[in-house]
Amino acid sequence: MNWDDTTDTPAEERLVGASADREDQAVEAALRPKDLGEFIGQEKVREQLDLVLRAARARGATADHVLLSGAPGLGKTTLSMIIAAEMEAPIRITSGPAIQHAGDLAAILSSLQEGEVLFLDEIHRMSRPAEEMLYMAMEDFRVDVIVGKGPGATAIPLELPPFTLVGATTRAGLLPPPLRDRFGFTAHMEFYEPAELERVVHRSASLLDVEIEPDGAAEIAGRSRGTPRIANRLLRRVRDYAQVKADGLITRDIAAAALAVYEVDARGLDRLDRGVLEALLKLFGGGPVGLSTLAVAVGEERETVEEVAEPFLVREGLLARTPRGRVATPAAWAHLGLVPPRSRTAGNGQGDLFGA
C-alpha cells in the first residue's frame, strides 16, 4: 500500500474535487507503510529491493542508487522512505524542477551526511547542467565546482560522503542513458489489481478506525484506477459520506452513493474523463479528431487532456491514439450507453475499432 509522490498528482486530486489540505496530508503520512513487510503489492519490486538492502547492510556499505519509475500514486515516495528506514539513514527529499542550476545540486550534495538517502522526485525534469554534475556524484562521490567565468574559470573538486540516490520518474524514457546506467537497481511500478487495492482499503480503514464491509472495500477498489493513493482518498470521502448520511458503516451501496456524489463512476472515470468521451462521441461521432480540437470542446488545456485524462482512457481501452487523431473504441460507446453511427463505422477507416 503506497500513496506517494509529492508532485504530478492532478488526476488523483481531480477525483476528490480538490487538493489535499494539511489534515489530508497528515492522514496520508500516517497511512504510509513503514517497512517492506507492510508494503502491499509490487511483489517483484519488493523482493528485489529487499535483496539489495539486505546485502548492503550485511556489507556495512551504502545501498546502490535506486531508480523507481511508474505512474503517480503507486508508491515511489513511500519506497524511498522505506529504503532510508531499512538502512537506518536520514532522508533528504527534493525534486527535479527545484534543481535548475548545477549550483543548486552542489549545495544539496555538499550537505549530505554519510549514508544519507537523497530522494529526487521527477528526476527527468532536472536541468542538463545539474544532470551532468550528478553523473560524477553518483559514480565517484565527487563534484567539480566551477569558480569564475570564461578563460579564468577553475574547477575545484569537492569530495562527497557515500550516499544513496533514489530517483523517481513518471517518464523513464526521458532519462538519458548515461544517467539510467548509473543506477545500480531500477524498478518499474505497476498498476494494482483490484484484490490488492481491497487490501489497501481494508488496512487504511483499520488505521482510520472506519467500519467497512468487504463489498464496500471492493466497490472503492474497483473505482481507484489501479492506484493506492486514489483508493485512500476515495476511502476518506466515502467515510465522510457514511458519517453524515448513514451510520458510519461503509457498505457497497453507501460507497456507490458516495462516489456518485463525487462524480466517480463504476470504472473510475471522473467528470473530465467522461467529458472527453462525451465530446468525442457526441460531437465528433467517435473520431478521429485532433487533440487540440478535443481539448477546446471540453474547455480544458491540451496538456490537461493529454497528460491527465488520456492515459487512463487509453489504458481502459476506451480511447485509441491514431495518426489521424483520437478515436473512441467500442467499449467507449458501450460505457456511455451510446450506439456508434452506421455511416461512421462504415466509412471512417476505423472499422476495425468498431468491430465492422
76 is an annotated ligand-binding site residue: yes
28 is an annotated ligand-binding site residue: no
199 is an annotated ligand-binding site residue: no
77 is catalytic: yes
Identified catalytic residue from 62, 94, 169, 170: 170
Query: What is the Cα–Cα distance from 61 to 89, expressed in whole angstroms?
Result: 12
CB-neighbour burial class of residue 350 (10 A; exposed 0-12, middle 13-18, buried 19+) = buried
Query: Nearest-CA neighbor of 312 among 352, 259, 353, 265?
Result: 265
170 is catalytic: yes
Residue 149 in grid coordinates: 567565468
CB-neighbour burial class of residue 173 (10 A; exposed 0-12, middle 13-18, buried 19+) = exposed
Identified catalytic residue from 9, 77, 94, 169: 77
12 is an annotated ligand-binding site residue: no
121 is catalytic: yes
179 is an annotated ligand-binding site residue: no
DSSP three-state, residue 161: coil
Identified catalytic residue from 14, 125, 225, 229: 229
Cβ atoms 167, 173 nearer than 8 A = no
Q: Mark 31-64 as b/e (b = at least 16 C-beta within 10 Å).
A: bbbeebeebbbbeebbeebbebbeebeeeeebbb
304 is catalytic: no
78 is an annotated ligand-binding site residue: yes
Identified catalytic residue from 4, 5, 8, 121: 121
190 is an annotated ligand-binding site residue: no
92 is an annotated ligand-binding site residue: no
φ/ψ of 248, rounded to 5, equals 95, -15
315 is an annotated ligand-binding site residue: no
233 is an annotated ligand-binding site residue: no
229 is catalytic: yes
Residue 327 in grid coordinates: 478515436
169 is an annotated ligand-binding site residue: no
211 Cβ contact list (under 8 Å, min separation 6): 205, 248, 249, 250
241 is an annotated ligand-binding site residue: no
222 is an annotated ligand-binding site residue: no
Residue list, annotated binding site for DNA: 302, 321, 326
Annotated binding-site members:
31-32, 73, 76-78, 139-141, 182, 192, 229, 302, 321, 326
Where in the sequence numbering do the catalytic residues fall? 76-77, 121, 170, 229
Binding residues for Mg(2+): 77
